[in-house]
Structure 1
Amino acid sequence: MKTLFCFFLLACGATADGQIANSQLADSLYATGNYIKAINYYAKDGSKASGLQIARAYNAIGNYEKAIAQYRNVLSLDVTLQICKFELGKLYLKTKDFSNSEILFKDLINVSDNNPEYHFYLAETFREQKKVGNSITSYKNATATDSTHLRSLFQLGKYYVGQREKDSAFIFIDRGLRFYENDVALINLKALAYFNNDEYIKALPYFNTLLELGEEKEYIYEKLAYCYFKDWEFEKAKANYKKVLELNEENADAYFYLGQVYWKDKQIDSAQYYVKESIAVQKPFLVREYVALAGISRNKEDMKSALEYYKLAHEEDPDDALIYHNICTVADQYYKDPKVKLKYYEKFDERFGNKNDYMAKMVAKRISELKEEIHYDVK
């Protein structure tokens, strides 16, 4: 009997040692990304810990259905296992199963209300479902638990920037920047908050900081250039718009606003060149470009070109009364024959005269003057 008992102890020890060896080998395989082999060794172990690792391995290789099934299996063995619920909740969120994700994160919050990650992921679940009010409340709950929770602070800042509530946005953005001053996402939000509020000079240092931190992106150069343009720093505006074009030579807005900078800087030929380039790289709708070129041509006292560009703009948008009124006034300057001038104004009156606004009244007055001029010329 004593011999049998000793043999039993040895057998149990051998089994335990084998399970430990399987688990250690599985952990090594998992850590090095050899997930399928790791799963096979974890399966031999059979413990809750190994079951959780199998779920993680399936998640890592992208087999989400098996991962979800394995997480559920682990929870059937121990429904109180928070780490399992947390990871399954995130996987539900990833696979857009928002109802189950919401249930799990709410359950976790009921168990541990002081965990900011639970509040954050519940907020993310609400955000994906377009439940804006609920998501904002949950993000705020996350920051109430951890005042430095950067991802929640970012989402709150982003929301208020989008709502153009600059002061509210700064409450969360500045809190995050005090914790991590070089967070590019928060710096970007602060720059945009000023930019969207037309405070271009205040936005400048933040866009420049983004560049210093290596965020050399097209939209940053574009907004920085516009800030310099509004601050009348034309050379810096030109340099940044040209940097935009180095990154994307088909950016029509960059060409157009570069033309505007040159126009403001009294470099008319360059202004004309870049606005034409804006036309060349884009498809219609081209009204603003044609109107800009018409205005530039008027500055150059080239009424023939101005008339051609206004006509092109009218072809793009025949319902814009202001464009056709400009055609009339330019034609009035360009042509000498009052009968030719009259045809333009009468066409305006026929098309837009019923609006009875300031332009229509001015046109009616000019028609009367031209008819009188023609009448006396005939005599």
Structure 2
Amino acid sequence: MIRSPKPTKLHAIMTLMLTIGITNHVFIIPALLQMAKRDAWFSVLLAAVPFAIMVCLIGFASSRIGTQPLPEWIRQQLGRIPAFLFQCIIIVYFFATAWSSLFDTVMWMKVTFLPYTPVLATSLILILLCFIGALKGMKTIAIASGILLPLVVLLGFYVAIVNIEYKDYSLLFPLFEQGWNPVFKGVLYACSGLFEVFFIFFLHPYLPAPLDKKRFIVFAFILFGLTLGPLTGAIAEFNPFEAAIQRYPAYEEWRIAGFGKYVSQTDFFSIYQWLSGSCIRISFALIVIADMWKRRSTRWRPSLLAILAVILVPLSCYTLSDIAFQHLMIRYVFPANAYLILCLTLIIAVAAMFRSCKKGRTA
């Protein structure tokens, strides 16, 4: 049961910036570079069109749903069976989101900072932090985001400004060397990250009122910039072909950033950025999964979260190699993510439109 006082709208925006931002800022960039190479940044610009349509659909549906939990609203609009199917899809989707985020973070730590530390140890520590956050609830996650995000943003501006001397923006051109096909492929991958603005539906029940249009549009612009900024930076610093073969281009930008004459490496700051986004994202996913299971008693919730955490640890350590995981994400998961969110948003928007028309006839 949701208790007051509730998180503010600013807390909500900060939570979504960390939850979705790590996908657009880190996870999706290697896929964009591999698919479109030099044209990847132009693919993001073209993705602004479907992204704007998605923002309009979500804004329209949110104004009709309000702060009502989405499964309950779907049950009222479409019936029990569609609501049950929706809950099952969301549970599987957010479990996959938590798993992929945990796996990618653990592999990144092993490749970069902790090559001799067992992945089981890092996975256990990370999932324990996320379990505690999910157990405390969305309000705690929102407040933690408000504390973590300002330094994350400052560090992002720092690495962008410090590396200006190494950037050659002429590398962004010429465009369309391989035709339009890579560009359109890149649009799909850019939409996969941008469409996660859909997550706002699961945060609204914890707010006193849905995000207004101005805040929502500002947040959409910020999210768009979180994809375009580091992508153009990676191309300008490393050239598109070198950046395309890097596993973590956003991290590589930290490898060349220094601080004055006596500090040549500042890549340890990236640990704070990456873990802030991963912890909030995984905790958010666990909370949404728990919210899909409504029970009168709240005693089952810690048990459910503990079971999810226990399942995620071996899945993040022993299921796939890093190469197989990257192939799975680029080949299947990212495209499926875009299509699934688009379909769910269209269904919700049509249901909201049907409700508006029905009310109009009644009036």
TM-score calculated relative to the size of structure 2: 0.17
Which structure's relative contact order is higher, taking Cα pairs within 8 Å and 6+ residues apart? Answer: 2
